[in-house]
Amino acid sequence: MQQLLNGLFVGSIYALFAIGFTLVFGILDRLNLAHPSVFAASAFIGIELVEVAGLPWWAALPAVAVVGGVLGLVVERVAFRPLKGRADAHFAGLISSIALGGMIIALLQWRYGPDTRRFPAGTFPDGQLELLGARFTILQAAILVISVVLMVALAWLVARSRLGRAMRAVAENPTAARVLGVDVDRVTATTFAISAALGAVAGALFAMNVNSAQLGMGSAIELKGLAVIIVGGMGSLPGALVGGLLLGVAEVLAVQYIGSSWRDLVAFALLFGLLILRPQGIFGSRRLREV
Amino acid sequence: MFTDSTLLFVALSGIFAFSFYAVLVAGQLSLGQAGFAALAAYTSAVLAPDPAEAGDAVTLAVALGTGVVVGAVAAVLLGLPTMRLRGVFLAIATLGFAEAVRILLVNAEWTGGAQGMSVPKIVTPGVAWVLLAVVAYLFWRQGPTRYGRALAAIREDELAARATGIDVGAHRLAAFVTAGAVSGAYGALLAFTMRFIDPGLFDFASAIDGLVMAVVGGSTVWFGPVLGGAFLTLVPELQRAVGLEAGWIRPFLAGLLLLAVILFRPGGLASFFPAGRGTRPLSRVQASGARGDTAADDGPGAPGGSGADTNPAGANLAGTVQASVQPHRRRAQVGAGDVVARLAGVSKDYGGVHALRGVDLELRAGEIVGLIGPNGAGKTTCVNILSGLVPPSGGAVEVLGIDPVRTPVHRVAAAGVARTFQHAKLFGRLSVLDNVLAGAHLVTRGTFLRRLLWLPSARWDERAAVVHATACLERVGIADKAGLAAGELSYGDQRRVEIARALAADPALLILDEPAAGMNRVEAAALGDLITSLASDGLTILLIEHDVGLVMRTCDRITVLDFGAVIASGDPAHVRDHPDVVTAYLGTEAD
Amino acid sequence: MRRTAPLSLAMIALLGLSACGSGDTGAGGSLQGEGSGADCTIPGPVPVGAALSLTGAAGSYGESQRNGLELAAAHLNEQGGVTYELTVEDDQTDERQGITLFEQFTDDGVSAIIGPTLSTTAFQAQPIAQDAGVPVVAISNTADGITEQGEYIHRVSLTEGQVIPQTVAAVTESEDLENVVVMYSDDDAFTESGYEVFAQALEDEGVEVAETLTFSVADTDFRPLLTEAAKAEPDAVIVSALIEAAIPLVTQAREIGLDVPIVGGNGFNNPQLMTDAGEAAEGVVVGAAWNSAATQNELNTDFLAAYEAEYGKAPDQFAAQAYTGLMTIDAAVRAECSGEPEAIKDGLGTIDGLDTVLGSLTINDARDAEHEAVVQVVTDGEFVALD
């Protein structure tokens, strides 16, 4: 039970990170490899906000989301928009986002140095909860709740709102969306901003949860995030949540039953098996190709 | 100014970049190369004899051989289940493989785990550069061959490549195995360069480096990876030489430089160099030679071989095709009047939407059959079923003696079906000539291996293919644009290139899906003449068109579809007066 | 086509600058001095190269090391007689860069090389110096076999094999260990070799290992592993990990209620452990080569004060070892009063009982350092020697 909960908590972070990742992929068909850098940057910026500006956690998180959103706009503007209409936009976007991601990390090192940093003690109320004999912190529970709430809110946004309709139209066919009067550039930028804001919240929560923020924290979670969006189905929001939780639980079970050295193999075995058996992922639907 | 090891690493990086280039030219994104390299590095380090006893040359040869074989075998094993994955999916699957390899290496006993394994250093910059040259040579020679063009065609438009008869699965796997072999060679070299190998050498970051080098260098030009490898290796050297203070500023500038290259040089660094992009079109004189060959009115002695003078005067394209490439023609001949294709009671549902309902259609050799109907009537679905792209939900289909439902698309094409697409699907970044040469895939012989050895026969074959393709371009009247990139042409010209590409396969059945869309009246009239003349050469043509006038003028028979069902069928006069047709087309009949 | 100018200019600038950048090696002045020991005077500055990981995964160690080296160079140059021209270069935690740097240093004719930060890179890069006949002083490599690479390779860092057995023996005695859980990151050479030494030492002491758990260097969430560890109800948890993992591991262990002593290796020896893990760090036992409080001598106090003044924070073990590295080279130079590589190599062989911030340092016949290790326990937010 304890281990199951541990798995869910680990998984909720994976999910939160992957939701932003998969949003951009689902709507814009682009893999944004600067996402892990935004994840790391927001953790460091969040720490500074709490440490220097003295913000409490409930104010720091939205602030971090805003900072993340701005970073997302920068990423879109610098690394993706100039590539619009290029035949190799797919590969080029990977590279440009890697390049920009590297620059963000370099700037972080300039600003904060290479050392591990952390939120000051007591940023988030300490305290333990107990459920069915399993112990966990309030923060862990909060992360799970925040992940689910953000996911539901985002799913609602995409399914119901005007912006969501525009997003889906762009996902379906950008050219047609433009003809129908959708401002594709604005929708694209907004999508990036939302995606990055989610990644930023994930980064800050992650740093709080494990009491550590490192320059390399994004790349450590990057592969897991990729695995999650494949498992859940590229572009599927509920898929990212379920995929994240599933991966978290699977890893924990692997520790318990197979051995900790093989834990990381689980993500890739899961990923590989699913790609072979069901490439569209658990929740993904196969896209029809127009001939 | 640079040390030995810098030179060495430039060469090694170049080789690694080529392993990414090998799949990028076929439009695949694989990140598994680090895994192949890791397997190759460790295996070769274990299997190769001690250089102190066997000598450096023997050790190196054994190591390289082991590396190449291990890399290639691993690629086959990984490729068989994953080759049907596309784009990012393939990238992530292969990345998963590479990570799995790394975890295995960390946990295995014989690798020394994370603490690594000592390997003697025997690779010198000279050796590395020679090997880089060998690999570069391989890819340089691969470019303008039937194989190279097929890969490029797959990269540009997979569907169109399949429709021109290219076996996409086999070609993708071949490219993937090439990547495996090259990264295997890299792994073996790296092992015998570094003195000490550990799993960290083959991590995610190293795979990303390889990809960055290949893309930054230029993923469509053979020397791109060399430039990319040099770029990525030399940036830190240059920064050091400039005296930039070490620390955050260097990765920042490296990122900035990378971003600048990728944003402002779409073709990568290779685009700084005026390289031979694509196959050179025939010069004016040669082109007129091709024309003379086509017309064959010079009589005997026309270059092109014995077939030319047996054709009747005024012989046409079909004659040329036979003259230059007949030995490699694979499809069965069709006699005049035979049934070429037949749809019997074919229906197609798309999740509740009935695109086709019990459609019957028969095409006989030499006929021009028109297929018309309002938008959404199911015309394109019919064509997709005939060419094997889409399976019907019910009914029987037969094309040129085969069942396209159970036959892969490229085999349907090989049986003699060629088509154009409703929205022109050209290989946009290839030249017009290369588009048509790719179309001739089925009627030409592979030239890659012979080109590697500089056999003259390869050059003759390539020349014959160019003559053939030029003739096809002449036929549609666009030979003067042979050297342009297909994507830069006007819409009408793209249509014509697409027809030339279809003709290059020497088909028995030619399916034209709205060829006149985007053409003006004069062009459309010329198109009508072309279609008529093709039919008189014995070609069967299925014409889908909104320009009803064009259809009425050129077609022998016309079938009209509305809401997925045939509402009229017969000769143009009969169809024109059919009351249902008039209703369906009310007010749209232009002339 | 349209916007090539900025990039072309950038590239030209880079190429152009790089042309002027090279060729200013070999600063003037003879390296042969007069006098001996403290009175030794050498006319030219002695060129010393340091290849450190200033960026990338090991960036935090490299930074400390650079600080330590630069402080040492400043002190030595102030002291006079012999001056040092210290070149610190970044290998970006990339093995290839490490190799290139060593080659560049030997080509440029430095008299001694310090580094690299990581042991794996050491195995790849140090043979270059060995072949070129340039002495190397390793300041953070703890793996076995480093100095076996050749007669020019020395180190001032204690191996795990020197520190860990002492730690294990001390803890076993003070805590009556019978049954422990061992955790380590298995994809890092430093922590894995540390684990091996721990395992051996535990066996020698007759302590039973209930379970061995592994994780990845990049991991930060250890709750599932710690839950697993807690099930075994150990007397202590033995951890071989880097400081990045140590802090979250310690915090989370306390959080899930695992309150037994945690014993760490060199990786734990960092003032950050107390500042960042706070109360959770109480009772953590760390065996290490150096510690700010435990090594009580005048040199150490001065070093602590100078470091704080210069960089605004307390030094860690990496800074102290780096500082010692250059100081040891200085002692070797003064021994023969020559800045030539060969003389420095000979001089390093004579280091015996040298007073350093690490304590009394001897370089033995295997070219490894010998000095006293400290076993310390975190008490009231401070490292205190374990009795």
Q: Domain of B105?
A: 4-204
C89 touches chain A (CB under 8 A): no
Nearest residue of C to residue B194, measured between CA atoms: C124
From B87, B204, B216, residue closest to A95, measured CB to CB: B216
> Average pLDDT of A78-105?
88
Q: Which two tokens stand for residue B327?
A: 């030995």
Whole-number pLDDT of residue C345? 95
Q: Are B353 and B366 in contact (CB under 8 A)?
A: no
Q: Are A155 and A238 in contact (CB under 8 A)?
A: yes
Q: Decide: helix, strand or coil at residue B430.
A: coil
Main-chain dihedrals φ then ψ at residue C169, nearest 5 degrees:
-60, -45
For chain C, which chains pass the contact test of at least 3 CB pairs under 8 Å? Answer: A, B
CA dist., res. B213 & res. B231, Å (int): 8
Q: Are C324 and C378 in contact (CB under 8 A)?
A: no
Contacts of B252 in chain A (CB under 8 A): 102-103, 106-107, 110
Does residue B585 or residue C262 have the better pLDDT? C262
Q: How far, CA to CA in Å, does B35 sit from each of A98, B78, B183?
A: 20, 11, 9
First-to-last C-alpha distance (Å) of chain B? 76
Residues A206-247: pLDDT tens digits?
998 888 888 889 888 888 888 888 888 777 888 888 889 989
Nearest residue of B to residue C4, measured between CA atoms: B264
Nearest residue of C to residue B4, measured between CA atoms: C103
Nearest residue of B to residue A84, measured between CA atoms: B263
Residues C52-87: pLDDT tens digits?
999 888 888 899 999 999 999 999 999 988 999 999
Three-state SS for chain C is: CCCCHHHHHHHHHHHHHHHHHCCCCCCCCCCECECCHHHCECCCCEEEEEEECCCCCCHHHHHHHHHHHHHHHHHHHHHCCCCEEEEEEECCCCHHHHHHHHHHHHHHCCCEEECCCCHHHHHHHHHHHHHHCCCEEECCCCCCCCHHHCCCEEECCCCHHHHHHHHHHHHHHHHCCCEEEEEEECCCHHHHHHHHHHHHHHHHHCCEEEEEEEECCCCCCCHHHHHHHHHCCCCEEEEECCHHHHHHHHHHHHHCCCCCCEEECHHHCCCHHHHHHHHHHCCCEEEECCCCCCCCCHHHHHHHHHHHHHHCCCCCHHHHHHHHHHHHHHHHHHHHCECCHHHHHHHHHCCCCEEECCEEEEECCCCCEECCCEEEEEECCEEEECC
From A107, A261, A271, residue closest to B252, measured CB to CB: A107
Whole-number pLDDT of residue C80? 84
CA dist., res. A65 & res. B419, Å (int): 52
B99 touches chain A (CB under 8 A): yes
User: Residue B284: pLDDT band by 50, 70, 90 thresholds?
Assistant: low
Contact B85 A279 (CB under 8 A): yes
CA dist., res. B113 & res. C186, Å (int): 8
pLDDT above 60 for B140: yes
Low-confidence winner among B235-244, B405-414, C280-289, C290-299 (lowest mean pLDDT): C290-299
From C21, C92, C99, residue closest to B243, measured CB to CB: C21
Query: Whats the size of chain C, residue-wise?
Result: 387
Domain C37-158+298-370 classification at class level: alpha beta
Whole-number pLDDT of residue A291? 32
Helices vs. strands in chain B: H and E counts, helices first = 24, 11
Strand partners for B510: B418, B541
B195 touches chain C (CB under 8 A): yes
Q: How far, CA to CA in Å, does B129 sit from each of B132, C128, C244?
A: 5, 21, 40
Q: Which residues of chain C form CATH 3.40.50.2300?
A: 37-158+298-370, 161-288
Contacts of B426 in chain A (CB under 8 A): none
The DSSP code sequence of chain A is -HHHHHHHHHHHHHHHHHHHHHHHHHHH----TTHHHHHHHHHHHHHHHHHTS---HHHHHHHHHHHHHHHHHHHIIIIIGGGTT-TTHHHHHHHHHHHHHHHHHHHHHHHH-SS-B-PPTTSS---EEEETTEEEEHHHHHHHHHHHHHHHHHHHHHHHSHHHHHHHHHHH-HHHHHHTT--HHHHHHHHHHHHHHHHHHHHHHHHHHHT-B-TTHHHHHHHHHHHHHHHH-TT-HHHHHHHHHHHHHHHHHHHHHT-GGGHHHHHHHHHHHHHHH-TT-SS--PPPPP-
B485 touches chain A (CB under 8 A): no
Cβ within 8 Å of residue C139, ≥6 positions away? C65, C68, C114, C115, C155, C156, C157, C318, C321, C322, C324, C325
Query: 10 Å Cβ neighbour count for B46?
Result: 13
Residues C223-256: pLDDT tens digits?
889 988 999 999 999 999 988 889 899 999 998 8
Contact B92 A96 (CB under 8 A): no
Contacts of A258 in chain B (CB under 8 A): none
- What's the distance, CA C235 to chain centroid? 30
Q: A with C: how many residue pairs have Cβ under 8 Å apart?
A: 87
Query: Which position has the token pair 């699907």?
Result: B425
From C10, C17, C18, residue closest to B260, measured CB to CB: C10
Does residue B304 or residue B107 have the better pLDDT? B107
pLDDT above 80 for A100: yes
d(CA C107, nearest CA chain B) in Å: 8
Residues C330-341: pLDDT tens digits?
999 999 899 999
Residues A7-52: pLDDT tens digits?
888 888 889 899 888 888 888 888 899 999 999 999 999 999 998 8
Query: 10 Å Cβ neighbour count for B16?
Result: 32
Amino acid at A144: L
Residues C175-219: pLDDT tens digits?
899 999 999 998 888 888 889 999 999 999 999 999 999 998 888
A96 touches chain C (CB under 8 A): no
Q: Are A2 and A255 in contact (CB under 8 A)?
A: no
* B174, B189, B204 - which closes a domain: B204
**Considering the domain boundaries, does residue B541 fall inside one?**
yes
Kindly report the CATH number assigned to the domain that includes residue B377.
Answer: 3.40.50.300
C231 touches chain A (CB under 8 A): no
Residues B494-553: pLDDT tens digits?
999 999 999 999 999 999 999 988 788 888 889 999 999 998 888 999 999 888 889 999
Mean pLDDT value across chain A: 85
* B160, B186, B204 - which closes a domain: B204
CA dist., res. B276 & res. C152, Å (int): 52
Main-chain dihedrals φ then ψ at residue A152, nearest 5 degrees:
-65, -45
The torsion angle over the Cα atoms of residues B449, B454, B455 and B461, rounded to 10 degrees, is 70
Mean pLDDT value across chain B: 85
For the domain spanning A2-114+133-277, the CATH number is 1.10.3470
Contacts of B250 in chain A (CB under 8 A): 106
Q: B with C: how many residue pairs have Cβ under 8 Å apart?
A: 104
User: Residue A286: pLDDT band by 50, 70, 90 thresholds?
Assistant: very low
Residues B2-55: pLDDT tens digits?
788 899 999 999 999 999 999 999 988 898 999 999 999 999 999 999 999 989
CA dist., res. C345 & res. C339, Å (int): 10
- Residue of A13, A108, A214 to mutate, testing the C interface (most C Cβ within 10 Å of its Cβ): A214
For chain A, which chains pass the contact test of at least 3 CB pairs under 8 Å? Answer: B, C
Nearest residue of A to residue B101, measured between CA atoms: A265
Residues B572-583: pLDDT tens digits?
888 888 888 877
d(CA A112, nearest CA chain C) in Å: 11
The three-point CA angle C302-C306-C307 to 5° equals 115
Nearest residue of A to residue B422, measured between CA atoms: A291
Q: What is the ipTM of this complex?
A: 0.90
The torsion angle over the Cα atoms of residues B152, B156, B157 and B161, rounded to 10 degrees, is -20
Tell me the pTM.
0.88
Q: Which fold has domain C161-288?
A: Rossmann fold (3.40.50)
Whole-number pLDDT of residue C4? 42
Contact C21 B241 (CB under 8 A): yes
* B174, B204, B234 - which closes a domain: B204
> Average pLDDT of B270-286?
67
**Considering the domain boundaries, does residue B369 fall inside one?**
yes
Q: Which two tokens stand for residue A68?
A: 């993340």
How many structural domains comprise chain B? 2
Contact C220 A13 (CB under 8 A): no
